[in-house]
Each structure stands twice: as structure tokens, then as C-alpha cells.
């Protein structure tokens, strides 16, 4: 292993798997995770941060292993009664999950910054690595579809990604700023790698990159930037990535992901099933490594984390 800090950019379920792997391989001071908060929304008076919560639950080992999101051994008393009262139940909030939302909402109402709140929750949940929101300012992903402009959770949960996507908007991003900690890490020389987790590039990573200064700071960093492909053998492991890429007119392939991230990348990690793509990716000037990227077990997660970190070691630091 190499000295320094890995900075991981992550969305929800897929990203959290690699983040968990990294947290098992690196010391608590050696990993900082930046979470997409474009999925955040206000629902039933609560501030909900789905990707942050998936990361917190996954890293503290209390996530639901079947769904990937939400709490293990969850109970649903509140939802059952909310249904009886004809309240909104399209976004399922478990009783245990509610505690996190209530806790966060109360602290935000008292004036705390989102990053402070998450840091407090992370410590209470005995999570070692830092978990940071992409910004303390509200950025809200909105989806322009054949059914009109939809708030992200309306599209994602309520309409189950069924509408055809035309374009994505990250409302508020242009007025938002990175958290001071992320600025500091990207500007300094403490990082040995910037890892783009195998999350949805359009829905989970692009909102992070839409924060002014982030893209430039990543490109300026001496740490190599490595993305792990969320596309394996022409389809996504989970979620609407493949459907979305097709609707946006992009080929559903790992190569298209490389093209999407463009000059941000120094290296790209593809699955063995896509080994044939390695040559053309390298020809495009991006280092490529081939390994198993399908994380079914905890061993898969830690092995992929090791592979990515080893790849970073061979690539960096980068002299810009």
C-alpha cells in the first residue's frame, strides 16, 4: 500500500460496495468518501439523503444486504399507519431509517451544515473513514423526461425510472461549492488516488462533477483519477444506468463511460468480461486494468479495492 489518502466519489448501492471494500483495506485516516447529494429531497418534512445514508448503513454494517439500501432488520409500523392515514407512502421509510432522517433534519433546522451533521452521524455509527456530502449547499437532480420535468425521487422511486430521459439538470449546482475539506484535499498533496466508484455516471457522479471547481481540481490533482466501470458486458449491475444511457443515445458499454468522463481519467478499471476493450481504451490514452468488478461478496469488494489501489500506485503521482 501507499502512503496518503484515497478520495472516493460515490453514489448509492454500487459505489457503497467499493467504498466498503476500500474501508476494509485502508485505515480510517486513509479514506475520504464524497457522496452524491443530488438525490437528496425534502419529504414529509424530513431531509432525506439517500446516497449518504446508503454509505452510512453500508460502512457501519447495518444495511439491508438484500436491497443494498435501507436498514437490516427494518420494521415498518410507521409506514403501515401512514398508509391508513392516506399519507404519502411511495417513498418507503422504515422505522429505523426514520431515526436517521429525524436526527439529521433536527440538526439542519438548528442551523448545522450538512457536512457537520453527516460527520456527527458517521461518528455515532462508528464509521472510520470520513464521509462528506459533495456540497453543503442544496443541489437537486431533476430529470427532463417524456412525462415532463421530474424531481429525482419522483423519477427514480415513484415512477421507477419508467419515463424516457431526455436530459438531466443539477439545479443549484452552479451556486454550490465544494466542502472546505474536499477543496483542501484536492489542492494539497495528501491524496494518492481519486477513485470514481462504479456508480451511475450520469445520476450519481455527474452531480458531484457539476459543483463549480470540482472537475478542475480533480484534473489539477497530482493523484491519478481512476474510474471503475459501472457497465459490465454491455449492461449495468444494478439500477437504471443502461436504460438511461440508451435513452441519452449513448452506447451501453464501458467504452462509453470512458468517453463520458473524458480527460478527467488517468485510469479505468473494467471487468474481465470486457477485457477485449482494454486495448482501445489504452489507445485513447487512458491506462486500463482488467479484473473482477462484480462485487457479490465482501471478498469481492476488498479484492476490487486492492486492485484499484494497486493500479493507482502504478499510475501516480501524476506530474501535470
**Binding residues vs a second copy (CB under 8 A):** 43-47, 74-75, 77-82, 84-88, 94-96, 98-100, 102-103, 105-106, 109, 121, 124-125
Closest contact distance (angstroms) between CB of 133 and a second copy is 17
Residue 36 has φ and ψ, to the nearest 5°, of -65, 130
Residue 232 has φ and ψ, to the nearest 5°, of -125, 120
Closest contact distance (angstroms) between CB of 157 and a second copy is 16
In the complex with a second copy, the residue whose CB is nearer, 124 or 147, is 124
Closest contact distance (angstroms) between CB of 163 and a second copy is 24
In the complex with a second copy, the residue whose CB is nearer, 78 or 248, is 78
In the complex with a second copy, the residue whose CB is nearer, 131 or 209, is 131
Closest contact distance (angstroms) between CB of 105 and a second copy is 4
Q: For the chain, give the longest Cα–Cα distance.
A: 61
Q: Which of 2, 31, 15 is nearest to 207 (CA)?
A: 15
**Cβ(17)–Cβ(67) under 8 Å?**
no
In the complex with a second copy, the residue whose CB is nearer, 71 or 192, is 71
Closest contact distance (angstroms) between CB of 50 and a second copy is 17
**Cβ(289)–Cβ(307) under 8 Å?**
yes
In the complex with a second copy, the residue whose CB is nearer, 78 or 250, is 78
Q: Which of 19, 88, 5, 75 is nearest to 51 (CA)?
A: 19
Please state, in angstroms and rounded to a whole number, the distance separating the CA atoms of residues 52 and 63. Answer: 12
Q: Which of 44, 34, 204 is nearest to 131 (CA)?
A: 34
Amino acid at each position: 500500500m501507499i502512503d496518503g489518502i484515497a478520495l472516493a466519489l460515490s453514489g448509492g448501492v454500487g459505489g457503497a460496495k467499493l467504498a466498503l471494500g476500500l474501508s476494509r483495506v485502508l485505515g480510517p485516516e486513509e479514506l475520504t468518501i464524497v457522496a452524491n447529494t443530488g438525490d437528496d429531497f425534502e419529504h414529509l418534512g424530513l431531509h432525506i439523503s439517500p446516497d449518504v445514508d446508503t454509505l452510512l448503513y453500508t460502512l457501519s454494517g447495518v444495511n439491508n444486504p438484500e436491497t443494498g439500501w435501507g436498514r437490516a432488520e427494518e420494521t415498518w409500523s410507521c409506514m403501515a399507519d401512514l398508509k391508513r392515514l392516506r399519507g404519502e407512502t411511495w417513498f418507503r421509510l422504515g422505522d429505523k431509517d426514520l431515526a436517521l432522517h429525524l436526527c439529521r433534519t433536527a440538526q439542519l433546522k438548528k442551523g448545522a451544515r450538512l457536512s457537520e451533521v453527516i460527520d456527527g452521524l458517521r461518528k455515532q455509527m462508528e464509521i472510520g473513514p470520513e464521509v462528506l456530502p459533495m456540497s453543503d449547499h442544496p443541489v437537486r437532480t431533476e430529470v427532463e423526461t417524456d412525462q415532463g420535468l421530474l424531481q429525482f425521487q419522483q423519477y427514480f422511486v415513484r415512477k421507477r425510472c419508467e419515463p424516457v430521459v431526455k436530459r438531466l439538470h443539477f439545479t443549484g449546482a452552479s451556486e454550490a461549492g465544494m466542502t472546505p475539506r474536499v477543496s483542501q484535499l484536492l489542492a494539497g498533496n495528501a491524496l494518492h488516488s481519486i477513485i470514481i466508484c462504479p456508480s451511475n455516471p450520469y445520476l450519481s457522479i455527474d452531480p458531484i462533477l457539476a459543483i463549480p471547481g470540482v472537475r478542475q481540481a480533480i484534473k489539477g490533482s497530482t493523484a491519478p483519477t481512476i474510474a471503475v466501470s459501472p457497465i459490465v458486458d454491455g449492461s449495468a449491475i444494478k439500477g437504471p444506468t443502461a436504460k438511461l444511457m440508451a435513452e441519452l443515445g449513448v452506447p451501453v458499454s464501458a467504452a462509453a463511460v470512458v468517453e463520458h468522463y473524458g480527460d478527467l481519467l488517468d485510469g479505468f478499471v473494467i471487468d474481465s468480461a470486457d477485457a477485449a476493450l482494454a486495448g482501445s481504451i489504452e489507445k485513447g490514452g487512458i491506462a486500463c486494468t482488467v479484473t473482477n468488478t462484480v462485487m457479490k461478496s465482501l471478498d469481492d469488494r476488498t479484492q476490487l479495492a486492492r486492485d484499484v489501489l494497486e493500479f493507482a500506485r502504478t499510475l501516480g503521482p501524476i506530474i501535470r
